[in-house]
A and B are shown apart, each in its own frame.
Chain A
Amino acid sequence: MKQTNEVWGFFASVRLAIFTLCSLALTSIIGTVVPQNKPDSWYVETYGPATAQFFQVLDIPDMYGSWWFLILLGLLSANLIICSIDRFPTAWRLMNADQLAIHPDRLQGMAQRQEWSLPTPVGDSAAQLGATLAQAGWKSTSREIETGTLLFAGKGAWSRLGVYVVHISILVIFVGAIIGSFLGFKGTVMLPEGESTTRIFAFDSSTPIDLGFEILCDSFTVDYYPNGMPKKYASVLAVRDNGREILKKTIEVNQPLTYRGITFYQSSYQAYKDFIVSIVIGPDKVGKVFTIPYQQEMEWPEKNIRFGIVNAEGMGDRVTRIKIWMKHGDQTASTFWVDNGKDAAIPSADKTITVSAKQMFATGLQVAKDPGVWLVYLGCCLMLIGLYVAFFVSHQRLWLLLRPGKDGAGTSVLLAGAGSKNQSGFARSFARLAERLQGTHP
Chain B
Amino acid sequence: MTSSLLLGITTFTYLLATLCFVYIFVFKAYRVYSFAIAVTSIALVIQTAGIGLRWYESYAMGIGHAPLTNMYESVVFFSWTIALLYLLMEWKFRTRILGLFALPFAFLAMAYASFSTGISKEIAPLVPALQSNWLIAHVITCFVGYAAFTVAAGLGLMFLLKIHKSGGEKKGGSQQLLAAIPAPDLIEDLIYKSMLFGFIWLTAGIITGAVWANSAWGTYWSWDPKETWSLITWFIYAITLHSRYTRGWTGKPLAWLAILGLLSVIFTYYGVNFFLSGLHSYGSG
Interface residues of A (CB under 8 A from B): 14-15, 17-18, 21-22, 24-25, 28-29, 31-33, 35-36, 64, 177, 186, 225, 227, 229-233, 252-256, 263, 265-267, 366-368, 370, 373, 376-377, 380, 383-384, 387-388, 391
Contacts and interface: CB of A to CB of B under 8 A. Distances in A.
A36 B128 contact: no
Given A14-B246, A25-B232, A64 B277 contact: no
B125 A32 contact: no
A25 B263 CA distance: 14
Contacts of B219: 186, 368
Given A229-B127, A370-B214, 10 more contacts: A18-B246, A18-B249, A21-B238, A25-B232, A225-B125, A231-B125, A256-B218, A266-B128, A373-B220, A376-B210
Interface in B225-240: 225, 228-229, 231-232, 235-236, 238-239
Contacts of B216: 253-254, 265
A12 to B, nearest CB: 12
Given A14-B246, A32-B272, A368-B219, A384 B200 contact: yes
B235 A32 contact: no
B217 interface: yes
A36 B223 contact: yes
Contact of B131 (A186, A253, A366): A253
Contacts, number: 100
A32 B128 contact: no
Interface of B: 63, 125, 127-129, 131-132, 134, 196, 199-200, 203-204, 207, 210-212, 214-221, 223, 225, 228-229, 231-232, 235-236, 238-239, 242, 245-246, 249, 272, 276-277
B201 to A, nearest CB: 10
9 contacts: A18-B242, A21-B238, A25-B235, A33-B276, A229-B125, A232-B128, A380-B210, A384-B203, A391-B200
Contacts of A25: 232, 235-236
Contacts of B215: 254-256
Nearest to B214: A373
Name the residue among A15, A18, A370 with the largest chain B CB count within 10 angstroms.
A18
Contacts of A383: 203, 207
Q: SS class of chain B's interface: helix, strand, loop or mixed?
A: helix
Nearest to B227: A32
Contact of A254 (B131, B204, B231): B131
Contacts of B277: 35
B128 A231 contact: yes
A14 B245 contact: yes
A225 B130 CA distance: 15
B225 A387 contact: no
A367 B212 CA distance: 16
Contact of B217 (A32, A35, A232, A267): A267
A65 to B, nearest CB: 9
B150 to A, nearest CB: 20
A24 B235 contact: yes
A18 B239 CA distance: 6
A300 to B, nearest CB: 36
Contacts of A387: 199-200, 203
A238 to B, nearest CB: 20
Contacts of A373: 214, 220
B127 A230 contact: yes
Contacts of B210: 376, 380
B218 A366 contact: yes
A385 B246 CA distance: 24
Contact of B207 (A232, A255, A380): A380
Contacts of A186: 218-219
B207 A31 contact: no
B128 A64 contact: no
B165 to A, nearest CB: 28
A263 B129 contact: no
Nearest to B128: A253
Contacts of A14: 242, 245-246
Contacts of B129: 253-254
Contact of A32 (B127, B238, B249, B276): B276
A35 B224 CA distance: 10
Contacts of A377: 211
